[in-house]
């Protein structure tokens, strides 16, 4: 099976418009299960280009307090991989928004990599992000993801040297996820000093068919403008959205916030 085209097409369209993609995260079941779809629609209405849909885990070691709380709330509502897949099926009835599942590895392992990949593909998920699966452990996953046409997003960080970035690019498809700062997920107002040097260092190493997106700590239009100018194809916003949704922001407020962030992806020269 060839790679799901929804994601690549979206990056193409965005690029043609002279923008970068705005990639937003929401945990399945936020703020409450019956309303997640409504909030996804709100993100889309604000101009979100790609959705990361969270699958909860009991021990989210890469996440800061905001997303830890989202994981815990989702678990309390009984959310599982299957719930997330059901949401994607539902959403697909009316939307071509590219969707990546974001899940820790154990739920995938428990289901079986092949079974998980097949179900994702059947639900028309476009790719999967696994924050605790480095390339050392990913050979079999990459093969399953290839077989089922799923994008395989891997990470590069300020600690990742040039040689390793190149290796990671061999495993990745869809986009390479740059971790802008040391630390867990969590919203910050300013850009980490590590972000721009990382983008400048990695940009020339990334092959033509792979996009470059940056995340961790983004919450403002100004931050987004800076990294888009530095040459990324996408910016990921997670905790900032999660915090607003958790605090009770209405769908309209979320749409407005996304619109403002999206404006940062088309900086004036």
Partner 1 sequence: MVAKAPSKQSTTKLSELPHEGHFGEFGGQFVPEILIPALKELERAHKEITARFDFQSELKALRADYGGRPTPLYFAKRLTEHAGGARIFLKREDVVHGGAHTLNNALGQALLARAMGKRRVIAETGAGQHGVAVAMACAVLGLNAEIYMGARDIERQALNAQRMKVLGAVVHAVTSGSQTLKDAINEALRDWVTNVPTTYYLMGSVIGPHPYPMIVRDFQRVIGDEIKGQLLRREQRLPDLLVACVGGGSNAIGTFYPFVSDEKVQFLGVEAAGAASLSRGSIGVLHGAKTFVLQDEHGHIAETHSIAAGLDYAAVGPEHALYKKLGRGEYVPVSDAEALEGFRLLARLEGILPALEAAHAVYAGVQRAKRMKRDQIMVITLSGRGDKDLETVVRYDTQPTPEQTL
Contact residues for partner 1, defined by CB under 8 A: 56-64, 68, 72, 75, 80-81, 105-111, 131-137, 139-140, 142-143, 146-147, 154-161, 164, 167-168, 170-171, 179, 182-184
Q: What is the largest CA-CA distance in the chain?
A: 48
Between 94 and 106, CB nearer to partner 1: 106
Three-state secondary-structure class, residue 181:
coil
Out of 52, 113, 225, 233, the active site residue is: 52
Between 11 and 155, CB nearer to partner 1: 155
Other Cβ atoms closer than 10 A to 94? 10
Please give the Cα distance from 135 to 90 (Å, whole number). Answer: 32
The nearest distance, CB 146 to partner 1, in angstroms, is: 6
Three-state secondary-structure class, residue 103:
coil
**Phi and psi torsions of 234, nearest 5°:** -160, 155
Please give the Cα distance from 31 to 96 (Å, whole number). Answer: 23
Please give the Cα distance from 167 to 122 (Å, whole number). Answer: 30
Between 179 and 226, CB nearer to partner 1: 179
Between 42 and 236, CB nearer to partner 1: 236
Three-state secondary-structure class, residue 86:
helix
Out of 19, 49, 63, 113, the active site residue is: 63
Please give the Cα distance from 220 to 176 (Å, whole number). Answer: 22
Residue 39 contacts residue 251 (beta carbons within 8 Å): yes
* CA angle centred on 104, ends 101 and 108, rounded to 5°: 75
Residue 46 contacts residue 255 (beta carbons within 8 Å): yes
The nearest distance, CB 41 to partner 1, in angstroms, is: 27
The nearest distance, CB 253 to partner 1, in angstroms, is: 28
Between 124 and 157, CB nearer to partner 1: 157
Tokens of 202: 């990695």
For the question of residue 63 being annotated catalytic, the response is: yes
For the question of residue 90 being annotated catalytic, the response is: no
Residues identified as active-site: 52, 63
């Amino acid at each position: 099976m060839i790679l799901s085209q929804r994601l690549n097409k979206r990056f193409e369209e965005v690029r043609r418009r002279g923008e970068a993609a705005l990639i937003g995260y929401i945990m399945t079941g936020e703020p409450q299960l019956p309303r997640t779809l409504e909030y996804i629609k709100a993100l889309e209405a604000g101009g979100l280009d790609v959705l990361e849909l969270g699958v909860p885990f009991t021990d989210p070691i890469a996440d800061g307090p905001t997303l830890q709380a989202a994981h815990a709330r989702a678990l309390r509502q009984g959310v599982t991989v299957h719930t997330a897949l059901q949401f994607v099926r539902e959403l697909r009835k009316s939307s071509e928004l590219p969707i990546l599942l974001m899940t820790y590895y154990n739920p995938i392992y428990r289901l079986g990599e092949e079974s998980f990949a097949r179900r994702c593909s059947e639900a028309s998920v476009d790719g999967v992000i696994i924050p605790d699966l480095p390339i050392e452990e990913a050979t079999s996953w990459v093969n399953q993801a290839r077989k089922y046409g799923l994008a395989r997003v891997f990470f590069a960080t300020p600690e990742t040297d040039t040689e390793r970035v190149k290796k990671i690019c061999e495993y990745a498809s869809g986009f390479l996820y740059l971790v802008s700062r040391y630390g867990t997920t969590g919203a910050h107002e300013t850009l980490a000093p590590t972000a721009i040097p990382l983008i400048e260092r990695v940009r020339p190493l990334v092959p033509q068919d792979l996009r470059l997106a940056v995340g961790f700590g983004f919450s403002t239009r100004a931050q987004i403008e800076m990294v888009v100018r530095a040459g990324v194809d996408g910016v990921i916003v997670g905790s900032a959205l999660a915090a607003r949704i958790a605090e009770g922001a209405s769908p309209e407020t979320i749409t407005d916030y996304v619109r403002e962030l999206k404006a940062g992806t088309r900086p004036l020269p």
